[in-house]
Amino acid sequence: MRELDATTGAEPPYPAPAVGWYATIVLALLYWLSILDRFIIALLVDPIKRDMGISDVQFGLLHGFAFAVTFALFGIVAGVLADRFSRRRVIFACVMIWSVATAACGVAQHYWQLLIARVGVGAGEAGLNPSAMSMLADLFPKDRLTSAMAVYSIGATVGSGTAYLFGGLIVEAVSAVDTYTLPLVGEMRSWQTVFFIVGIPGALASLIIFTLPEPVRRNRGELDTGSGLLQPLLRSYRQLLLFMRGHPRFFACHYAGFLLAGAVIGGGGAWYPAHMGRTFGWEAGQIGLTLGTAIVIAGITGKLMTGYAVDALFRRGRRDAQLRWYAGCLLVATPIGVIAMTSGNPWVFLTGVCVFLILLSPLPACYATALNLVTPNELRGAGVALFSATAGLIGIGGGPILIAYIAEAVFNGPSDIGLGLAVMAGVCCPLAAAILWAGCAGMRAAMTATEQTGG
């Protein structure tokens, strides 16, 4: 139901900017934590492969697909929870789950045990974006929403960057000793202790969500989703699919374009450290310091720039600004990415990756804002969750495996992982740009329809 001011009968005003930006920073902090826990495993490729006797493709399954399938399935449920219940409580539960699961990776003795722990990480992280993005859409007016989403998504960039930066230092520090003995846990390999170091503090950090207000849900329709959990779950997604079917051009192009771009970003995040170690002979600490710094600089720069530029375009009447801007970024990024991934010079690679990610890292801000502007409020959590499910399966899950497969099937295997990265960038980026550009007219039409129905 639509929440109205008790005295005026109108929807309440948006909260003070300070409240909105404080909430954005706290949510970005939790997003940072989730990405740190998700990507720290990328620095542990070789010791995990050595101790568990697995291949690159198996590691791609561990890093990507096992996480992504669970992320998708639990995200479907979490989206409905975000639309119906306190978003703060949903986020609290999710942070606790993924933090404990990350620590559980540290006690895995066999490949299947580590696989199950990664499933737990995916289950926990699935609930953050639907709830956080729904909150932001109720905290900021439309012409400021892309900037808010950009600042929130900086958490992802800083998370992946610090996973390499601090993670590399942690890996290097604990690797000085082959095994450690911890109370109640017993003997652990050095790489296993890394999961404990990054996982346990997250359980305490989960409490910070209760310093935020639960924002008023504005611009809601009269959709009745039923009682219990199964009934609203089925009804919400039936309503969402009906809405999507009414705007096929926008949703088809939005999903396909951003999913292809996500495969490039997700695959790169999994294999950049291994590529640097294999091609340039760098150690984990050096990789973490340089690559982490490049990713953090690129992400902060790109997302702030995109938030400012896209909101400015929106205020000037470009109601397809998110798709239009990101399509242009993909085209510019294509040759830069190919040159970087095929270079034998580590500094050319790092510079190229930095520029490449300045252009591509704002993907979450663009896809989420476009979805929230088009989708009715009472379906926003479900809408973000459905997209995240498919994006997770194809981007996070499929990207690392596809890059490893290209390197092994087309080139010379693990030593040519950089060529696999280059092929992904060279093919997927321009194709994604063309698809997003084709969806611009569909976005304009879908926004108009949603506004006319009060969504």
H-type helices in 15-141, by residue range? 17-39, 45-52, 56-60, 66-84, 87-105, 111-125, 128-139
Which pLDDT value is given to residue 237? Answer: 84
Residue 220 lies in a domain: no
89/92 Cα distance (integer angstroms): 5
Higher-pLDDT residue of 431 and 220 is 431
pLDDT at 296 over 70: yes
pLDDT at 226 over 70: no
Residue 4 lies in a domain: no
Residue 395 lies in a domain: yes
Average pLDDT of span 220-232: 54
Would you say how long the chain is, in residues? 455
Least confident piece of the model among 167-171, 249-253, 412-416? 167-171
Mean pLDDT (the chain, rounded): 83
Higher-pLDDT residue of 455 and 321 is 321
Residue 219 lies in a domain: no
Residue 329 lies in a domain: yes
Residue 11 lies in a domain: no
Strand-pairing partners, residue 180, are: 188
Is the Cβ–Cβ distance between 19 and 213 less than 8 Å? yes
Is the Cβ–Cβ distance between 91 and 132 less than 8 Å? yes
Least confident piece of the model among 55-59, 271-275, 438-442? 55-59
Which pLDDT value is given to residue 209? Answer: 93
113/300 Cα distance (integer angstroms): 36
pLDDT at 74 over 90: no
Which pLDDT value is given to residue 92? Answer: 94
Residue 138 lies in a domain: yes
Which pLDDT value is given to residue 178? Answer: 65
Residue 12 lies in a domain: no
Identify the burial level of 353 via C-beta atoms within 10 angstroms of its C-beta, where 0-12 means exposed, 13-18 middle and 19 or more buried. Answer: buried
Q: For residue 391, what are the domain limits? A: 17-213+229-452
Which pLDDT value is given to residue 252? Answer: 94
Domain CATH for 440: 1.20.1250.20
The tally of domains found in the chain comes to 1
Which pLDDT value is given to residue 4? Answer: 47
Strand-pairing partners, residue 189, are: 179
| Confidence category of residue 23, pLDDT binned at 50, 70, 90 | very high
For residue 394 the two structure tokens come to 């194809």
Read off the pLDDT of residues 101-125 as tens digits, 9 standing for 90 and up: 988 888 877 888 888 888 888 889 8
